[in-house]
Amino acid sequence: MGDLTSTTRLLEYSINSRSIDVAESLLSYDAKIIGFSLYIWNITETIRLLSIIKTVSPETVVVVGGPEISHEVENNKISSLVDYIICGNADVAFANLCQLIIAKNSPQEKIIQAPFVHPKDIQFPYQYYNDEDIANRLIYVEASRGCPYQCEFCLSSLDKTSWSFDIDLFLQELQRLFQRGVRQFKFVDRTFNLKIKTSLRILEFFLDKLDSDLFLHFELVPDKLPDELRQIIQKFPSGTLQFEIGIQTFNPEVQALVSRKQDMQKTHENIQWLSDATDVHLHVDLIVGLPGESLQSFAEGFDQLVKLKPHEIQVGLLKRLKGTPIVRHTIEYEMKYNPEAPYNILSTSLIDFGQMQRLARFARYWDLMGNSGHFKNTIKLISADQPFNSFMMLSDWLYQSTDQTHRIALKRLFKLMFVGLTDGLKLDKNLVFNALKCDFKQSNLKGSSEFIRE
């Protein structure tokens, strides 16, 4: 913010807060300018908030930026509620705009196209993490921006390449954060293992600082894991490293359609090696609803992934992020999206609306059971043969029996699992009971003995 730093406040609110309460809080600062970062997860709440702010205080200058407003600006609902829109990276552009407004030299154009800013020209923001952040939060850091891959469902496909922050200066910032007590770091780099030398420098930095509280999250491309990276990964103990790996689809034809280049043989080998030979926690992503992907094709990919034994399989529905090239498939593959955020896929030429709803529930229930860690033994039992079909049958049964996908208490879920697997899937009652009994004890729930007898 340059000269305006001393009069700038960085404020955060929850999307669960009432819009009117957030408006009251913001306006209590009597700020001349308020800026908002817009994403698919906060756009609906922010529209409500801005309607209140502009009704109560129309003289307050409102500036918005972020991925949700950087593309397809003309038809955006929020446009009429704001004074300025910054498209693109606003690291420098926002400060420049604020200085012009304060100097009563406001630009005439409402929409401002921010010029590209190289990471070398951006000051690190990590000093603004306060003590409360450090004590209670996962701390986000970035060693690079952008992505060289062109996957059409991702906004990073517009970047064309990746740019790195100066690694020596970046490690100095990490050192300061570590000295302040930060032990949980989430790297937001789109491809952490793009430049292996940089990856090694960062991992070596943390290897020298191992303690029981250290936790590091990285996003990796799965087909690039050379020996030198493998060797250092093996040195980290359990609970320290988490890798998020985007498979998205195992179907080579679908990969080609969305311009995703991935060596599937190496991907299989590397995930298998990570699962068998390291203590890394593996979080692997699949996307439902890509053009050309049928229900059967997705099921086959899910089954392949289950056999590789990652700790978590994140099943997500395709979202039509504004500006992404995925729109070129809309007509040919009859891609129909939710018109409201988060713009999730509703149906395609190969998966109708009813099937897509089933898959959405499958994803939710899998998160509750497959990813929660509470049902490890039971999930192994379900996944022994045709894991997708077995879990889809359980998912259908759960929804028909409860009409719920949220707010299901854990103890109730254990009971539902027993009935669903024995009456619904017709699995052996003793096998199911023993698996659930073991999982229940490991979940450390109170009243385990009474519950098991019941």
Tens-place pLDDT, residues 76-98: 888 899 999 999 999 999 999 99
Residue 111: CB atoms within 10 Å: 13
- The C-alpha atoms of residue 451 and residue 440 are separated, in whole angstroms, by 9
0.85 surpassed by pTM: yes
Per-domain residue ranges for the chain? 2-116, 118-327, 369-454
Strands 61-65 and 33-37 come out as parallel
Angle (CA) 54 59 62, round 5°: 60
Q: Is the dihedral of CA 235, 210, 176, 7 positive or negative?
A: positive
Tens-place pLDDT, residues 3-36: 999 999 999 999 999 999 999 999 999 999 999 9
Place of tokens 């998020």: 244
- The C-alpha atoms of residue 391 and residue 393 are separated, in whole angstroms, by 5
Residue 441 pLDDT: 85
Cβ-count burial of 74 within 10 angstroms (0-12 exposed, 13-18 middle, 19+ buried)?
exposed
Strands 144-146 and 162-164 come out as antiparallel
Q: Which amino acid is at 329?
A: H
| Residues sharing a CB contact under 8 Å with residue 118, sequence separation 6 or more, in sequence order | 163
Q: Which amino acid is at 235?
A: K
Q: Is pLDDT at 174 greater than 90 in this prediction?
A: yes
Q: What are the Cα distances from residue 12, in Å, to 25, 280, 328?
A: 11, 32, 36
Q: Is pLDDT at 447 greater than 80 in this prediction?
A: no
Q: Is pLDDT at 321 greater than 90 in this prediction?
A: yes
Residue 56 pLDDT: 97
Q: Is pLDDT at 405 greater than 90 in this prediction?
A: yes
Helices (H) and strands (E) in the chain, counts: 16, 14
Query: How far apart are the two ends of the chain, measured CA to CA in Å?
Result: 62
Q: With contact defined as beta carbons under 8 Å apart, do 242 and 217 qualify?
A: yes
Q: With contact defined as beta carbons under 8 Å apart, do 290 and 298 qualify?
A: no
Comparing 39-48, 154-163, 180-189, 226-235, the range with the smallest average pLDDT is: 154-163
Place of tokens 């300061």: 176
Q: Percent of the chain at pLDDT above 90?
A: 87
Mean pLDDT of 230-239: 97
Q: Is pLDDT at 303 greater than 80 in this prediction?
A: yes
CATH architecture of 118-327: Alpha-Beta Horseshoe (3.80)
CA 94 to centroid of chain Cα atoms: 25
Q: Is pLDDT at 449 greater than 60 in this prediction?
A: no
Q: What are the Cα distances from residue 142, in Å, to 169, 191, 254?
A: 12, 11, 30
Residue 446 pLDDT: 63
Q: How many CA atoms lie within 13 A of 91 on its CB side?
A: 13
Helix runs in 278-409, H state only = 295-307, 353-369, 376-382, 387-402
Q: How confident is the model at residue 130 (pLDDT cuts 50, 70, 90)?
A: very high
Mean pLDDT of 216-221: 96
CATH topology of domain 2-116: Rossmann fold (3.40.50)
Residues forming beta bridges with residue 243, ordered by sequence position: 218, 282
Place of tokens 């030198």: 228
Q: 302, 163, 359, 67: which is closest to 76 by C-alpha? A: 67
Tell me what the pLDDT averaged over the chain comes to: 94
- The C-alpha atoms of residue 294 and residue 285 are separated, in whole angstroms, by 17
| Residues sharing a CB contact under 8 Å with residue 282, sequence separation 6 or more, in sequence order | 242, 243, 245, 271, 274, 275, 310, 311, 312
Tens-place pLDDT, residues 150-171: 899 998 888 878 899 999 999 9
- The C-alpha atoms of residue 366 and residue 391 are separated, in whole angstroms, by 8
Quick check: bond before 252 cis, omega within 30?
A: no
Mean pLDDT of 376-382: 95
Q: Is pLDDT at 64 greater than 80 in this prediction?
A: yes
| Residues sharing a CB contact under 8 Å with residue 96, sequence separation 6 or more, in sequence order | none
Q: Is pLDDT at 131 greater than 80 in this prediction?
A: yes
Mean pLDDT of 252-269: 95
Q: With contact defined as beta carbons under 8 Å apart, do 193 and 229 qualify?
A: yes
